[in-house]
A and B are shown apart, each in its own frame.
Chain A
Amino acid sequence: MINPMDLSGKRYIVTGASSGLGRQVCVTLSQLGANVTAIARREDRLKETLSLMEKGEHDYYFYDLSEVDGIESFVNSAVSKNGKYDGAVHCAGIGTLMPVAMSKYSFMKEIMDINFFSFVEMARVLSKKKNSNDEASFVAVSSAASEFTDKCKLGYTSSKGALDSAVKAMAVELGASRKMRFNTVNPGWIRTEMYNMIVEQTGAEHAEKTLSTHVLGITEPVEVANTIAFLLSSMSSKITGQNIFVDSGWTINSNND
């Protein structure tokens, strides 16, 4: 038997590593043999993530990605310590709900900084030849909300739509010479803290209604992490610039409100 999703000896940066999907991505990648540089803001929770991972040459940084200007020096120091990377997974993201009337520039900027600009800056620096190997693969966690939006999701939807487009532009420009690939995964509702928070804000009834349109039920973090591992691996060597919907059939189902 072969395991075409094997990531032995590869090295990736994973952002948003202290909770939810990011934590699961760290665990899954370590199980596939990868070395992970985990990034998050919360120290105690980040250490907990490390304790759940299979052994490997992992390391971690506490970093607030909304400090976009500092990402370059942070990536450079990670490369000088660990050598070249094989890609990155951007799981960091916030989903604050806000009506249009209250979505001021400062709010929009905050959500775009963490969800979008930090990924672009990280990919910009990491994709340089001195920082990454040929055939490096980058995955940004977008959302099915980039196609199926909802009230009070102007900021969130915009940031995810920007990711969907950005991977195409990066794929076209950086794909030909060094065979680097850029894709997003677009999950529906995942059983994470963000899900619990949204249920709290919108009420159980609204949540139940939304979930009833997920034809295979709510998604577990590991199910998205598996797709991310697939996109990092050579198994997806001809997939680039794509938005892969891991949404339990949410957006293909016409029985939506």
Chain B
Amino acid sequence: MPSQGMPKSLRKPQNYAITQKFRGGGGTKCYPCDLSNIDTIENLVKDIVQENGKLDGLVHCAGITATKPLSSNTYDFLDEMMRINVYSFIELVKHLSKKKNCNQNTSIVAVSSAASIRGDKAKSAYCMSKGALDSACQAMAAELGPEKRIRVNTVNPGWINTQMYSDYVKNVGQEYADATILDRQFLGVAEPYEVANVIAFLLSDASSQITGQSIVVDGGRTIW
């Protein structure tokens, strides 16, 4: 069950109920887990595989962000950011990539961010964590590709129409948000499904020779 250390949105029990509604034809199951407790992840993977059989992949969407000037950065703050955004993902891949836990041609996707290639004020922890994901994916792709044929990639979105975006708009006002976001992200703020489609592509065989890549899905934000 949800514990104290969980990211805010996942601490709400009603969010589990919402997720559980999406029971598609293939069957969807929810496994509550506090990803900041790295030690629990091995058993989580074990339980999932025991109940469902071998897996074909993993999408790591969990992540936290924070706006914090460098002067108020602490080691504990950096550690929390890294644990949820990066270390939990590495631990998940470590266990998932075992032969007994995944099928041939498994595909793994981590949600990174355009923040890994363009910095911003008061975002050093967030940018660091997303850059770490990008680099870790390259190394894991090189290690898991040749024999296990496991692919590892990231998607790097710009602004998405999620809670993170509406919080930003609430903070700075719509006019300022449009001026700072839409001017650069000229294809507009992405709807979540537009990023989900790219993740689905990376999971599918249609991307069978793409590995170790960071696919930027940012509506043009970081190309100029």
Interface, chain A (partner B; CB < 8 A): 4-5, 168, 171-172, 175-176, 179, 181, 187-188, 215-216, 219-220, 223-224, 226-227, 229-230, 234-242, 244-249, 252-255
Contact = CB atoms under 8 A, between A and B. Distances in A.
Given A226-B206, A230-B201, A245-B213, A215 B219 contact: no
B212 A253 contact: yes
A234 B217 CA distance: 13
Contact of A242 (B200, B205, B210, B216): B216
Given A172-B223, A238-B219, A252-B142, A246 B194 contact: no
A255 B205 CA distance: 26
B210 A244 contact: yes
Given A215-B211, A252-B212, A238 B186 contact: no
Interface in B111-130: none
Contacts of A5: 201, 206
Given A216-B149, A236-B197, A248-B211, A179 B187 contact: yes
A230 B198 CA distance: 9
Contacts of B201: 5, 230, 235-236
Contacts of B198: 235-236, 238-239
Contact of A227 (B151, B207, B216, B224): B207
A239 B195 CA distance: 9
A235 B186 CA distance: 18
Contacts of B187: 175-176, 179, 181, 237-238, 240
A203 B200 CA distance: 39
B131 interface: no
A252 B218 CA distance: 22
B209 A216 contact: yes
Contacts of A226: 205-208
B217 A249 contact: no
- CB-CB nearest 10 A-B residue pairs: A215-B145, A252-B212, A241-B223, A226-B206, A176-B186, A252-B138, A235-B197, A238-B190, A168-B223, A219-B209
Contacts of B27: none
A245 B206 contact: no
B219 A168 contact: no
25 contacts: A4-B200, A168-B224, A181-B187, A215-B142, A216-B211, A219-B209, A226-B208, A234-B197, A237-B194, A237-B197, A238-B157, A238-B194, A238-B217, A238-B218, A240-B187, A240-B220, A245-B210, A245-B213, A246-B207, A249-B211, A249-B212, A252-B141, A253-B212, A254-B142, A255-B142
Given A244-B215, A252-B138, A252-B142, A223 B209 contact: yes
Contacts of A229: 206
